Chains A and B, each alone.
Chain A
Amino acid sequence: MKKLILLPVWVLIVIFISGCTPFFIKENEPVILSNNGNTVNSNVHISSDRSANLQIESINSKLTSGIVWDISKDGSYLLTSKQVDAQLKDSILQNEKFLNMSIYDIETGQSNPPVYSNKNQVNGRIDLNNDGYVYLETTSADQIPNLRLVWSDNTGDTTKNLSSSNESVSIGYSMVNENTLVYANNRSEITLVDLDKAIAGVAGANRTYKLSKKLTIIGVDLWEKENMAVFSTYDDSTKTYDLYIASLNKKEVAPVLIDSNIRYFTLSKEQGQILYTLAGEKDTQRLILYDLASSTGKLLKEGYIGLFSFSNSGDKLIFSERNDPSSNSQNLWLMKTDGTDSLQLASNLNVYGYTVVFHPKKDSVYFTVFEINDANTDNRKISYTVYSIDYNAS
């Protein structure tokens, strides 16, 4: 009996003396690790596909200041929004800035100084045909910011309103082709704009299609081949974003739901495919590639997906991945649209927005990185810088 009592006492003593020393971990013994890509949470964090090679040839972290929106078809210049200080007459707030469009010449590295506007000019698209660009301009009416679609020449001297003053344009519009753009408004209408005519002021520049169903359209694009409008909507009752498709061949446009609870989408006109993100588990997003012809979706990646864009040819895509859902810091990845050959382009950058611009003629991408200066929340300032990465993916 004594032994029976003493045994656990000794066990306890041994345990306490050992101080819960790890039995299976060797102390002070170096262990060589090999990065085989088998990291934890690989279902959340993306890992490089080791079968493919990517060489970063150069990175320019200070290409120009501002937010990049588009690149010219010849790849010679970028359309950006630069932060300009509000003129005193336009703001009582000290150090308030407005985003005004600007052209950045890649070859010279010079930016045209933006034409001052006391309105924020965002989401620009280059109109190469007409040496101009289109952008959204915020107008504040009744304290609710409205957006207006505006065309400007590259110098900023001439501007034209493409949307009417009684409509608020949705933030997401798109260039269908070199002469046509599509936008939606707050009246559940999708409008196609003939730029030449619009700029020339010719009547009939706009063709408007009314949805058969009242929907708050957030972003719209057009699959020109099939004359199908793809658009995202916001459902106020469910507080979710939905993705629809609708044929514009009929007068009354009946939207067909593709998916619900999406975040953003982008359309590859060349491939007839949509990229969009869907809310996944544990705050992750699922990057879905949807083929419009076959009406089938494919899960490409799941993680803390940020922005994503098709390459110009539509066979590749670029997307960003946050290190954690609350982080602004993101990694940029290049991938084929079939979900293979994931290659990391950038690491831990505060990538801004939803756009990464592919150079039309070489393996270069341009994107915006923001920086928050001054930890003091009252004086927090955000600055934007355009990054460029030249890579070689074999």
Chain B
Amino acid sequence: MNGLRADLQIVADWITPRARVLDLGCGDGTLLRHLQDNQSVTGYGLEIDAEKIVHCIRNGVNVIQTDLDQGLSDFDVGSFDYVVMTQTLQAVRRPDLLLDEILRVGRMGIVTFPNFAFWRLRYYLTVLGRMPMSGALSYTWYETPNIHLCSIKDFEELCLQKGIRILEREVLSHDLRRPVIAGVLPNLLAEIAIYRFCRS
């Protein structure tokens, strides 16, 4: 019925109807618009890019122009049911601190990121000797906003250290399909990782 991208659809499926959602790095507001229309969700998007602010307003999404690196100090403890961050974790200055912020203002966090241990990326570096690029990481090394890339193992290790409890994990392979065998070697086969988590 709608063309929601596969990773966003998984995120949407995890969010309960009428929930309050904060979307960090909400882009053009596609996810929030979908959640508003289909799940009666309310909330806000945070975005830094000026053009995307206009898209959000056009999409009927409440958007606050914000630099995520400044933290979420405008929001009180537990203001949201979910704090969502899709494909943005790798672009912030301190992902670890932002994870703390996510679980300060939200009861639950949902994060998606490109898995840097994906086999194609490994191939780029080890065989071609080039900085990895892929569908999810389409920037050249000198202009990429992605400054804190991590693998599935890295992320789960950080969660463990921080006492963050992972409630659910989904992985998508190339072309954003759910791979049958990714459950076996997710760190190798998954291009995108999607997590739902809360405080332990």
A and B assemble together: no
Binding site for B on A (CB under 8 A): none
